[in-house]
Amino acid sequence: MFEALSEKLGSIFKKLKGRGLLREEDLTAALKEIKIALLEADVNFKVVKDFIERVKARAIGKEVIESITPGHQVVKIVHDELCSLMGGEDNLSLSQRKIHLSPNPPTVIMLVGLHGSGKTTTAAKLAKGFKKDGRRPLLVAIDTARPAAIEQLISLGSQINVPVYGTKAGDSPVRVCSDAIKKAHSEGWDVVILDTAGRLHIDEELMKELDDVKAAANPKEILLVADAMTGQDAVNIAKSFNDRLNIGGVILTKMDGDARGGAALSIVAATGKPIKFIGVGEKIDLLEPFHPERMASRILEMGDIVSLVEKAQEAIGMEDAIKLQKKLKEDRFTFEDLKDQIKQIKKMGSLENLFGMIPGLGKHISRSVGTVDEKEFIKIEAIINSMTKKERESYAIINGSRKRRIALGSGTTVADVNRLIKQYLEMKKMLRMFKGGKGPGLNKFKFPDLNFFRGRS
Amino acid sequence: MGLFERLKQGLSKTKKNLVEKAEVLFLGRNVDESLLNELEEVLIMADVGPKASAEIISTLKEKFKKGELSDTVGLKNALKEEIKLAIQDGSGIKITKERPYIILTVGVNGVGKTTTIGKLAWRFKNEGLKVILAAGDTFRAAAIEQLEIWAHRSDTQIIKHKSGADPAAVVYDAIMSAKAKNMDAVIIDTAGRLHTKTNLMDELKKIKRVINREIPSAPHEVLLVVDATSGQNVIHQAKIFGEAIGVTGIALTKLDGTAKGGIVIAIKKELNIPVKLISVGERIEDLRDFNAEEFVGALFG
């Protein structure tokens, strides 16, 4: 929908290439584009304004590195600045991103937020996480306002085998909490997660209710659950909840969509509190730690360029990406290449990153590729390693007896081999659409199902 | 409190952030380029979006150059006109002669689909229509129970299957039942889904196919429910849901909570999908037909 920021900046800086230092007048047009990009990403206007000033101050006088364009370099500065604002590793230790546990159990965690931000689902995800860590969580449903909210939590609780303390609609939230905590004490539940009702930050009566719950439950952590799609109001929402309750952090939900998530920056700027986790799916185990760098790339919708700059600086990876791009265009993608790619992926952390490196490809793919289970790579590598050179070059010769041999050699099954071949073909088919860089299918492009990487359990 | 007053109250946050901010900005100022640039900032802050804001401001700038905006009173009126123009022909929900009239409700997670359906059912019931609710959200825990409570409140019938069932089958049953009982309308609830999940969008297409097979002219209304607190991602949502199943109208929820109802303007300007319903409060009667005249009136009045 919007022209990529990198392309716009590229043309702005064209005449500037390789020329001495960045000056203010060189930057004006670029900063305007960056401003629009951030606004399109829903970063709050005031936050954007301050941010642009910071970038300007940092960029003026910077030497233009020969190997990359000034546009890319400015983007890198913007990216770094975004990272540090959202609590880059240097600003915020990892322990600050974790959930604080109380020395005297139970640790009470209270989730607050607007309607529909995802509190109940997040409560269940947290409980599952704690359970995995060997703790004994208790979920408490104190959303007595929304129809069937308590049933929702009970149903989620039973899916993950975590007890839910809930009462019927209309009960006083404060009483329910106090009773639940007493129960946790006597029965030895060491983490109590309070799922409060959604409320508007401007609803005085309901905000007061949160004060009361806080006073009664004395939570160790109050977490604001916020929707990644939130617009300009994110600042006010976060500020209201923080001023009132002094929250410990934020969980940003629905990050599996394509919202660029500028709200993340607005929230951190407004509260100074860290984003601790992100929600990336409707299944109960999909809560991930927050990575400021990834978020910065996402807000700028340009992970590719930032990675390219970084790679240029580290002088690795680039050539491989170009080689791959060439192969893709010529439709010469073999099993050997797939194996190389897997090696790369291992180095780079994720498939998303790898494809993100290829100009024009990353944006379309990254949203349809999830995280990939590293263990599955070992299996795939083993299968490819068990193929002969000829087989790797032309899959067509792999007949039944060859498949049996490959399966035997790699310690897998013929079904595994078949699956890999099928996925390889799908991948090849879709890559063909990219021939020439702008196939008709580019926009409708769908990445093949990569479930085989995850083992289809 | 009259209906208009109620609307005004619901929109007071938006008004405060858009119109009153502009008014403060205008105090003691002459109309000039820099004032218009500052006005653009006010629009962006109200979630009108950078693109739609730029368009509105450039029109105002042209008027200014032609000498049509002599003072800030004139500017305020021109702004009001521009906003009205941008959101025109939002028409409200109308049930035509088709029977049963099928309304398919879709949207991302947590926008308020089920609540909107509950309120809409209550309204239809009050208008003397016979309504069936179809519990098509078979995925989210307790979604069916939530719709049941609304069915009870609005005294309407509900067709439901077990959690995890095929939503298209629920929809099929609801339509069959509506036909057999000569019902006036079927309102279909669906699971919230992010527009980026292709498999879930395919599921919606299947639901639509099933409806279409039983009643060729249906669904008569495909209502995309949108959270007014959301930002520019709404444009993506509307675009992709629209491409998948053809959105005919938008229901904008939680407009009372957000200071930024400006997304109404962005949606209409960029996608030309009319806003049909707005929700300005939690009360059952707070779901209203959208009317551009009234909306702008409440905002500027």
**What would the pLDDT profile of A370-409 be if each residue is shown by its tens digit?**
445 556 778 888 899 899 988 988 888 999 999 999 999 9
A432 alpha carbon, distance to own chain's centre = 28
Q: Nearest residue of A to residue B152 by CA position?
A: A147
Are B135 and B58 in a shared domain? no
φ, ψ for residue A276 (rounded to 5)? -95, -40
With a cut of 50, say whether residue A227 has pLDDT above it: yes
* HSE-up (13 A, CA, CB side) for residue A346: 12
CB distance B230–A227 less than 8 Å?
Answer: yes
Say whether both B113 and B231 belong to one domain: yes
Is A230 within 8 Å of B141 when comparing Cβ atoms? no
Nearest CA in chain B to A145: B282
Cα separations in angstroms, A79 against A71, A227, A228: 12, 22, 19
> What pLDDT, on a 0 to 100 scale, did the predictor assign at position B6?
75
Per mean pLDDT, which of A22-31, A32-41, A69-78, B196-205 is the most reliable? Answer: B196-205
pLDDT at B267: 82
Domain at B79, CATH number:
1.20.120.140
Q: Give residue A305's pLDDT.
A: 47
Q: A410 to each of A172, A381, A384, A416, how far by Cα in Å?
A: 61, 9, 8, 10
Count of C-beta atoms within a 10 Å radius of residue A339:
18
pTM (2 d.p.): 0.74
Residue B296 located in a structural domain:
no
Please report which confidence band the pLDDT of residue A449 belongs to, taking 50, 70 and 90 as the band edges.
very low
Dist CA B289 CA B286 (whole Å)? 10
pLDDT at A71 (0 to 100) = 67
Architecture of domain A3-85: Up-down Bundle (1.20)
B160 vs B268, more confident: B160
Which among A32, A45, A128, A150 is the top mutation candidate for probing chain B, defined by the most B β-carbons within 10 Å of its own β-carbon? A45
Say if residue A341's pLDDT is above 90.
no
The verdict on B235 and B169 lying in the same domain is: yes
Q: How far is B234 from chain A (nearest CA, A)?
A: 8
Q: Which amino acid is at A359?
A: P
The enclosing domain of B253 has a CATH number of: 3.40.50.300
- The whole-number average pLDDT for the span B258-281 is 80
Locus of tokens 């007493």: A182
Residue type at position A395: Y
CA A294 to chain centre: 7
Cα(A204)–Cα(B47) distance, integer angstroms: 24
Beta-carbon separation of A149 and B142 below 8 A: yes
Q: Which of A44, A155, A236 sits opposite B142 (nearest CB)?
A: A155
Q: Which amino acid is at B8?
A: K
Q: Given pLDDT bands bounded at 50, 70 and 90, which one contains residue A3?
A: very low
Looking at the complex, report in whole angstroms how far the Cα of residue B229 sits from the nearest Cα belonging to chain A.
6
Do B76 and B107 lie in one domain? The reply is no
CA distance B97 to chain A (A): 33
Percent of chain B past pLDDT 70, that is, above it, reads 97
The reply to whether B193 and B280 lie within a common domain is yes
Higher per-residue confidence, A452 vs B61: B61
Q: Across A150-159, B1-10, B23-32, which has the greatest mean pLDDT?
A: A150-159
Contact A152 B259 (CB under 8 A): no
Q: Domain range for residue B232?
A: 101-290
Both tokens of A265, joined, read 């920056």
Q: What is the ipTM of this complex?
A: 0.82
Nearest to A233 by CA among A2, A46, A1, A52: A46
Calpha distance B51→B186 (Å, rounded): 37
Contact B49 A40 (CB under 8 A): yes
Q: Which of A151-165, A418-432, B32-46 has the lowest mean pLDDT?
A: A418-432
Tokens of B257: 């909570």
| Domain end (from B55, B87, B119) | B87
Q: Does B128 map to a domain? A: yes
Q: Do B268 and B152 fall into the same domain?
A: yes
Facing B227 at nearest CB: one of A116, A120, A155? A116
Instruction: Give the pLDDT of residue B1.
Output: 57
Beta sheet of A137-141, edge-to-edge order: A164-166, A137-141, A191-195, A107-112, A221-227, A249-253, A275-279, A287-289
CA B167 to CA B201: how far, in whole Å?
13
CA distance B68 to B61: 10
On whether the CB atoms of residues B235 and B270 are closer than 8 A, the answer is yes
Q: Residue A284: pLDDT above 50?
A: yes
Q: In A, which residues are within 8 Å of B195 by CB distance? A: 257-258
Inter-chain contact A148–B41, Cβ cutoff 8 Å?
A: no
* Whole-Å CA distances, B17 to A151, A163, B45, B178, B259: 38, 44, 8, 45, 6
* Res A457: pLDDT: 28
- The residues facing B251 across adjacent strands are B225, B277
Distance from CA of B50 to the nearest CA of A (A): 7
* CB–CB contact A229 B231 (8 Å): yes
Tell if the CB–CB gap between A115 and B140 is shorter than 8 Å: no
Straight-line distance from the first to the last Cα atom of chain B, in angstroms, rounded to the nearest whole number: 16
B73-114 tens-digit pLDDT: 888 889 888 888 888 766 788 888 889 999 999 999 999 999
Contact at 8 Å (CB) between A66 and A17? no
Beta bridge partners of residue B253, listed in sequence order: B227
For chain A, percent of residues with pLDDT exceeding 90: 27
Give residue B49's pLDDT: 83
- State mean pLDDT over A239-262: 90
For residue A233, the chain B residues in CB contact (below 8 A) are 47, 229, 258-260
Is A96-300 a domain of CATH 3.40.50.300? Answer: yes
Quick check: B35 pLDDT over 80? Answer: yes
How far off is chain B from A398, nearest CA to CA, in Å? 31
Picking from A232, A241, A367 by the largest number of B CB atoms within 10 A of its own CB, the best residue to mutate is A232
Residues B253 and B116: beta-carbon distance below 8 Å: yes
**B160-177 per-position pLDDT tens digit:** 999 999 999 999 999 999
R_g of chain A computed on alpha carbons? 25
φ/ψ bin of A349: left (φ > 0), alpha (ψ from -120 to 50), beta (otherwise):
left
- Selection from A9-13, A49-53, A335-339, B120-124 with the highest mean pLDDT: B120-124
Answer yes or no: is pLDDT of A446 > 50.
Answer: no
- Spell out which residues of chain B touch residue A301, defining contact as CB-CB under 8 Å: none
Inform me whether the pLDDT recorded for B211 exceeds 90.
yes
Distance CA(B276)–CA(B289), nearest Å, equals: 6
Matching fold, domains A3-85 and A96-300: no
Which tokens is A327 given? 């192969």
The closest CB to that of A156, out of B141, B146, B196, belongs to B141
Q: 3-state DSSP helix/strand/coil percent for chain B, to nearest 5?
A: 55, 15, 35
Burial A153-183 (b: 16+ CB within 10 A, else e): bbbbbeebebbbbbbeeeeebbebbeebbeb
Mutate to test the interface with A, among B158, B233, B240 (most CBs of A within 10 A): B233
User: What is the per-residue pLDDT for A294?
Assistant: 77
Q: Which of B40, B65, B87 is the last residue of a domain?
A: B87
When pLDDT is averaged across residues B190-215 and rounded to a whole number, the result is 93
Q: What is the largest CA-CA distance in chain B?
A: 67
Instruction: Calculate the average pLDDT of chain B.
Output: 88
Q: CA nearest B257 in A: which residue?
A: A200
Longest dimension (CA), chain A: 73
**Nearest Cα to Cα of residue B39 among A354, A213, A45:** A45
d(CA A143, CA B224): 26
Whether residue A290 has pLDDT greater than 90:
no
Going by C-beta distance under 8 Å and a sequence separation of 6 or more, which residues neighbour residue A117? A198, A225, A226, A227, A253, B110
Shared-domain flag, residues B61 and B134 = no
Count of pairs with CB atoms under 8 A, one residue in A, one in B: 141
**Min Cα separation A343/chain B (Å):** 28
B158 and B209 in a single domain? The answer is yes
Q: Which residue has the tokens 């976060």?
A: A238
Does residue B106 share a domain with residue B237?
yes
Report the alpha-carbon distance of residue A189 to residue A417 in Å, rounded.
Answer: 47
Structure confidence at residue B210 (pLDDT): 96
CA distance readout (Å), A99 to A96, A109, A237, B75: 8, 9, 22, 51
Strand pairing of B275-279 and B287-289?
antiparallel
pLDDT at B290 over 70: yes
pLDDT higher for A300 or B117? B117
What residues in B contact A201, CB-CB < 8 Å?
257
Rounded Cα distance between B102 and B117, Å, is 12
| Nearest by Cα to A253 from B242, B138, B264, B192 | B192
Q: For residue A12, what pLDDT is reported?
A: 63
Higher pLDDT, A452 or A263: A263
Per the CB < 8 Å rule, is A114 touching B229?
Answer: yes
| Final residue before a domain boundary, out of B37, B61, B87 | B87
Count the neighbouring beta carbons within 10 Å of the beta carbon of residue B111: 28
Q: Would residue B155 count as lying in a domain? A: yes
| CA separation for the pair A92, A216 (Å, rounded) | 30
CB contact under 8 A, A148 and B235: no
pLDDT of amino acid A64: 58
Cis previous bond, B274, omega within 30: no
pLDDT of residue B116: 94
pLDDT for residue B285: 85
Residue A147 and residue A390: Cα distance in Å, rounded? Answer: 63
A158 or A306: which carries more pLDDT confidence? Answer: A158
Q: Tell whether B95 is covered by a domain.
A: no
Just give the CATH number of A306-454. Answer: 1.10.260.30
Residue type, B223: L
Average pLDDT, rounded, for chain A: 77
Cβ contact A241:A201 at 8 Å: yes
Q: Is residue B223 part of a domain?
A: yes
Please name every residue paired with A63 in a beta bridge, in sequence order, or none if there are none.
Answer: A21
Domain shared by B267 and B122, yes or no: yes
- Could you tell me the sign of the dihedral formed by the alpha carbons of B286, B292, B298, B299, in that order? positive
Cβ contacts (< 8 Å) between B140 and chain A: which residues?
Answer: 152, 282
Q: Are residues B44 and B153 in the same domain?
A: no
Report the C-alpha gap between A332 and A421 in whole angstroms: 15
Q: Read off the pLDDT of residues B134-170 as tens digits, 9 standing for 90 and up.
A: 999 999 888 999 999 999 999 999 999 999 999 999 9
Number of domains in chain B: 2
Would you list the domain boundaries of chain A?
A: 3-85, 96-300, 306-454
Interface probe with A: pick from B109, B111, B189, most Cβ of A within 10 Å: B109
Residues B106 and B35 in one domain: no
Confirm whether B297 is domain-assigned: no
For chain A, the three-class secondary structure string (H helix, E strand, C coil) is CCCCHHHHHHHHCHHHCCCCECCHHHHHHHHHHHHHHHHHCCCCHHHHHHHHHHHHHHHCCCECCCCCCHHHHHHHHHHHHHHHHCCCCCCCCHHHHCCCCCCCCCEEEEEECCCCCCHHHHHHHHHHHHHHCCCCEEEEECCCCCCCHHHHHHHHHHHHCCCEEECCCCCCHHHHHHHHHHHHHHHCCCEEEEECCCCCCCCHHHHHHHHHHHHHHCCCEEEEEEECCECCCHHHHHHHHHHHHCCCEEEEECCCCCCCCHHHHHHHHHHCCCEEEEECCCCCCCEEECCHHHHHHHHHCCHHHHHHHHHHHHCCCHHHHHHHHHHHHHCCCCHHHHHHHHHHHHHHCCHHHHHHCCCCCHHHHHCCCCCCCHHHHHHHHHHHHCCCHHHHHCHHHCCHHHHHHHHHHHCCCHHHHHHHHHHHHHHHHHHHCCHHHCCCCCCCCCCCCCHHHHCCC
Query: Which residue did the predictor score with more confidence, B284 or A109?
Result: A109
Task: Establish if B66 belongs to a structural domain.
Answer: yes
* Pairwise CB contact (< 8 Å): A118 & B110: yes
Q: Is the pLDDT of residue A318 over 80?
A: no
Give the residue with greater pLDDT, B38 vs A16. B38
Asked if A124 and A289 count as a contact pair (C-beta separation under 8 A), the reply is no
